[in-house]
Structure 1
Amino acid sequence: MTPRGDWVFGHLDPARAWADLADADINYSVDEVRRPAWNIDTHHAALPAEKPGEPEPGGSWEAARELVRDYEFSPPEIIRAVFDPASPLLGRDLLLEARFHLMHFYCGVRITDVVDEHRANGDRAWGWAYETLEGHLERGKVTYEVVKHQHSGEVEFVASSYSQDAPTLGRLTSLGWRLFGRRTQLRFYRRCGERLRGFVEARLRGEQAPAGEGMRVGRLVVAPTDAALHRWDTLALHRVAPG
């Protein structure tokens, strides 16, 4: 059994920690969500535009949709995910690894919504949302969408969220999260948009993006594909379900 809430030096079994998520529940109620106690954010990142109308085959919107589906937009220096790619997208559990220098926190989320719609204003949207599970550093929901404004041809990546620190964080974790968590959270969304735009541009040029074969843990994959092990990882402290 992977220790929950204990510090582990060096090696940690992510497959065991991922399997434990099956028994975890969402750690908040939507009825609690209101300012100023919660951060409510929407982040937009412009992607290469297309001609007005439906998404173009092999175009910007389709390339972005594939990258968002596979969680390739996440900056691996901040957040990585372990999941079973054979599981249905709706209901899929992801074990997120939040990396703060030599402290790595493992937190669970579950995909609870899939977006695939033509909207009344003419937008074509695809995406998904996850909610935080028991033991997460935070409580809340994040929705990632690829949106084409069909009247103009503009394509964008939209990340909308509401979140707050988990009230059950230990003293050391809580102090570190209050000092760096919000700043890191905003940097994460900015980097997501930057990475996705760069990868879409590369794919439209016919290049493989992101590059690399990707890491696996048995049948599980580690996303994004360009996540790599570093020599300092062997010195890192790991903590599962810190909240």
Structure 2
Amino acid sequence: MPSIWETAVPDRPDWRRYQERLEAVRTARYNFDLDTDRELTESDGWHLDHYDADLPPEPPGPPLPDTDARASFAIARDLIRNYAFPDPKLVTGIFSPDEPVEGRPMLLRARFLAFTFWFGVRVGRVLEGAVEVEGDRVWRYGYDYATLEGHFERGQITFQVQKNERTGAVSFVIDAFSKPDRIRNPFYRIGFKLFGRKLQIQFSESACERMQRFVRQELEARAKGDHAPRHETVTPEPVSKDADARDQIDEVVLEGREGNGSPRASQ
């Protein structure tokens, strides 16, 4: 029987078609300094975004085990781990599912109206375990990824599911900071200037809605001893069939290789 993340994105493209480009993403440089860019203000051109969505609560205590029919936290964790919460009509993630999440290279295909953008990103920190937040013990699972050379923006985004051990409340949280980077191709520069910010906002809002819907449907299906239905998706063509997309990815890979120094991990 298919897993929840397989039903969320049932037609994810075969990552092996993109293996060479994923390997290039693995060693590409970040396009900004993750240490010195921590003083971020909107007056300096940074977009500072925060989204959170309530998920069905669990009983107070640590997150329930995967096998529990009420395991809201575990369902959300699997959707995050497998990058199954974004709307594939907007953003599709391509990566090897067998790799550890930390350090995982990913190709993202973003679509908005008539434009298609390809980006390479690499997972940095994996956030896992319990932390103290305003006197409460909060369990979390998630990760961040940062932009690489050739990306249209500079920044980082973090996705995580959280559970308050005292109350049992479960939520999906997105935090991001970003600002435009240099875009050499005039066609993509104009398209991203017109639609890039709208795509960002729509991506996060739809990700929250999908996470809520998928977790709720999976819990309802488990309560009935059934399984959640397949969800809407699109069937993408391999990048080799799209000359513009292929050229854009090659440009991203080339820019990543031109930088000096080794890749840096998120701090």
- TM value normalised by structure 1: 0.81
What is the CA deviation profile of residues 151-194 of structure 1, one whole-angstrom value per residue up to 9, with x for unaligned ones? 22111000101111112443322222121111110110010011
- Most deviating of 202-211 and 191-200: 202-211
> 2:95 maps to which residue?
83
The reply on whether 1:35 has 2:41 as its aligned counterpart is: yes
Please give the secondary structure, in 2, of the residue aligned with 1:56. Answer: coil
1:188 aligns with 2:180: no
Contact kept in structure 2, 1:210 and 1:226, CA below 8 Å: no
Distance 1:28 1:177 in 2: 19
CA distance change for structure 1 residues 70 and 83 in 2, over 3 Å: closer, same or farther?
same
Report the CA distance shift for 1:62/1:177 in structure 2 as closer, same or farther (over 3 A): same
Question: Which residue among 21, 27, 30 is the counterpart of 2:25?
Answer: 21
Of 235, 241, 247, 1:228 maps to: 235
Shift in CA distance, 160/147, structure 1 to aligned 2, threshold 3 Å: same
Please tell me the residue identity of whatever aligns with 2:24.
D
**Separation (CA, whole Å) in 1 of partners of 2:229 and 2:119:** 24
Distance 1:100 1:236, change over 3 A: farther
Matched residue count = 217
Tell me which residue corresponds to 1:197: 212
Identity %: 31
Separation (CA, whole Å) in 2 of partners of 1:156 and 1:80:
23
CA 1:210 to 1:159, structure 2 compared with 1: closer, same or farther past 3 Å? Answer: farther
Residue of structure 1 in register with 2:174 after alignment: 159
Cross-structure match for 1:46: 54
Q: Indicate if the aligned counterparts of 2:129 and 2:141 stay in contact, CA closer than 8 A.
A: yes
Amino acid at match of 2:37: E
Deviation, structure 1 residue 122: 1.2
> Counterpart amino acid of 2:62?
E
Q: Show structure 1 runs of 5+ residues with no match.
A: 1-12, 213-224
Mapped to 1, the partners of 2:144 and 2:229 lie a distance apart of 22
Note the aligned Cα RMSD (angstroms): 2.4
SS at match of 1:119: strand
Query: How far is 1:228 from its partner?
Result: 2.0
The residue matched to 1:125 in structure 2 has which SS?
Answer: strand
| Stretches of structure 2 lacking an aligned partner (at least 5 in a row) | 1-16, 256-267
Give the partner amino acid of 2:123.
I
Kindly provide the amino acid, as one letter, of the partner of residue 20 in structure 1. Answer: A
Question: Which residue number in structure 2 is paired with residue 106 of structure 1?
Answer: 118
Alpha-carbon distance, 1:226 to partner: 4.0
Aligned partner of 1:220 in structure 2 is: none
Q: Distance in 2 between matches of 1:98 and 1:210?
A: 25
- The answer to whether the Cα contact below 8 Å between 2:89 and 2:233 also exists between their aligned partners in 1 is no
For residues 82-161 of structure 1, the aligned pairs below 5 Å read 82-120=94-132, 121-161=136-176
Counterpart CA distance in 2 for 1:211 and 1:138 is 33
Mapped contact 1:102–1:235 kept (Cα < 8 A): no
Q: Which runs of 4+ in 1 moved over 6 A?
A: none
Larger mean CA deviation between 104-113 and 48-57 belongs to 48-57
In structure 2, give the amino acid aligned to 1:195: R
User: Of 42, 65, 84, which aligns to 1:72?
Assistant: 84
Measured in 2, the distance between the counterparts of 1:88 and 1:235 equals 30
1:63-93 CA-partner distances (Å, limit 9, x unpaired): 1101110001011011111111111111110
Work out whether residues 130 and 143 of structure 1, in 8 Å CA contact, stay in contact via their aligned partners in 2: yes
